[in-house]
Structure 1
Amino acid sequence: MTAPTGAELEELRAKAQQDHRDLRERIPRLSDDAIALILRESRSHYAWTDQPVSDDLLEEIYDITINGATSMNTLPARFVFVKSAEGKERLAKSLKPKNVPKMMDAPVTAIIAYDMDFWKELPFLFPHEDRRPLFENNPEYVADTAFRNGTLQGAYFMIAARAVGLDVGAMSGFSNKIVDEEFFAGTTLKSNFLCNLGYADETGLFHKLPRFPFEKVCSYA
């Protein structure tokens, strides 16, 4: 992809700046209810109704997620939506026993993964400067960038799912090795974490666990 230059670049920059000003004018902040839905009053869910999740909704969640910021626009996250009985059986091999029913009962389980070859896509994603030399023959930097930014995209994904009306339940009680063998053998993808998606059965909830107050974990410098 050829990066814009000259007058075209200036026009695109001016439009981006004005679009952001217009957005901020229309929506100076989210409502308290919106914030409650996506974070403040949100919950991790482990029980699900049988209401299905459409592919169109999954594509909408992706479309929201992909617009979140990542370092150098690297976008290393990759998503596998496990919906079929066969896919669920394969994924169940990786889970701790108590997590199996949580996953099996969810309409969809997303494998949040990251691509160790993400940097090879930078001519498309970051066309105005070739940053590939930063990553070539530098596996530690590749792994660090992929994991950090892929995890960041996983958080965007969860917030996006809540924003469009779904409930989520992230899981880390599984074997990454088994997931990678089952789903990513022979590829450059590695699994990060799992996230169940659907419409929650609230009878599976218990009271919300404590959170730290500001003064315990925040400081100024």
Structure 2
Amino acid sequence: MSLVLEDTAQDLLFREAHTANTFSDEPVTEEQIQAIYDLVKFGPTAFNQSPLRVVLVRSAEARARLVPHLFEGNQAKTAAAPLVAILAADNEFHEELPRLFPAFPQAKDAFFSERAAREQAATLNASLQAGYFIIGVRAAGLAAGPMTGFDPAGVQKEFLDGDHTPLAIVNIGKPGDDAFYPRSPRLAFDEAVTTV
């Protein structure tokens, strides 16, 4: 292989990692989630926008508010997961740009003065960060169960505000019994990659 990352790390993060559908009762600690965030925050975004915002759903009361907004097939596993994260895009991320990208102070007004441009940038870059987040969960030795099967308007109304767009919901924890479906096929290199 021509990768620097050891095979065991490649397996942990990619080859052996699966979306989890059941979880053990072992809790996910605040320290684990902070370590995950402190690692994945270094993933690149345009102008260092960093628009991802994470809402951790821990309490039974908050879980009861979330579950009805999920598609039926996602409800039971989310109700039982040790921790659930709502991943959202902050459409007002540009307010932080002078601090996050001081080398280009004009970026705040020059590129992001229009709400539509901010929403597009926030969605793209927070989606990148959502992928980093899932890899970070795996790097912590935990399983992730990311889902887009939910009512975005309902989740936004219940947990966010008009400046934040929910992108995904991720169940997090140690995998439980029969946590993984069989691996589905993936496209081969020559099916997905073109050289010009």
Shorter-chain TM-score bucket reads over 0.9
Separation (CA, whole Å) in 1 of partners of 2:180 and 2:84: 19
Of structures 1 and 2, the larger Rg is shown by 1
- Once the two structures are superposed, residues 154-175 of structure 1 have per-residue CA deviations (whole angstroms, 9 ceiling, x without a partner) of 0101101101111101001101
Q: Does 1:54 align with 2:29?
A: yes
Q: 1:195 aligns with which of 129, 154, 170?
A: 170
Q: 1:44 aligns with which of 11, 14, 19?
A: 19
Which residue does 1:104 correspond to in 2? 79
Separation (CA, whole Å) in 1 of partners of 2:89 and 2:180: 31
Which residue does 2:154 correspond to in 1? 178
Q: 1:83 aligns with which of 47, 58, 63?
A: 58
Query: What's the offset of the Cα at 1:136?
Result: 4.2
Which residue does 1:169 correspond to in 2? 145
Separation (CA, whole Å) in 2 of partners of 1:171 and 1:135: 31
Which residue does 2:97 correspond to in 1? 122
TM-score, normalized by length of structure 1? 0.84
Q: 1:139 aligns with which of 98, 101, 115?
A: 115
- Computed over aligned residues only, the root mean square deviation of the Cα atoms, in angstroms, reads 1.3
- Once the two structures are superposed, residues 76-103 of structure 1 have per-residue CA deviations (whole angstroms, 9 ceiling, x without a partner) of 0000110110110111121011110110
Separation (CA, whole Å) in 1 of partners of 2:90 and 2:189: 35
Which runs of 4 or more aligned residues in structure 1 lie more than 6 Å from their structure 2 counterparts after TM superposition?
A: none
Q: Does 1:64 align with 2:39?
A: yes
Q: How does 1:202-217 map to 2 (within 5 A)?
A: 202-217=177-192
Separation (CA, whole Å) in 2 of partners of 1:72 and 1:150: 13
Separation (CA, whole Å) in 1 of partners of 2:59 and 2:169: 16
2:124 counterpart letter in structure 1: R
Separation (CA, whole Å) in 2 of partners of 1:175 and 1:135: 30
Q: Does 1:148 align with 2:124?
A: yes
Which of the two has greater helix per residue?
Answer: 1
Between the aligned residues of both structures, percent identity stands at 33
Contact map agreement 1:179 1:191 (CA 8 A) in 2: yes
TM-score, normalized by length of structure 2? 0.94
Query: What's the offset of the Cα at 1:196?
Result: 0.6
Q: Secondary structure at the match of 1:204?
A: coil
Contact map agreement 1:119 1:135 (CA 8 A) in 2: no
Separation (CA, whole Å) in 2 of partners of 1:197 and 1:135: 35
Separation (CA, whole Å) in 2 of partners of 1:152 and 1:202: 30
Query: What's the offset of the Cα at 1:206?
Result: 2.5
1:196 counterpart letter in structure 2: N
Separation (CA, whole Å) in 1 of partners of 2:185 and 2:128: 23
Q: Does 1:157 align with 2:133?
A: yes
Query: What's the offset of the Cα at 1:202?
Result: 4.2
Query: What's the offset of the Cα at 1:203?
Result: 1.5
The count of corresponding residues between Structure 1 and Structure 2 is 193
Q: Does 1:93 align with 2:68?
A: yes
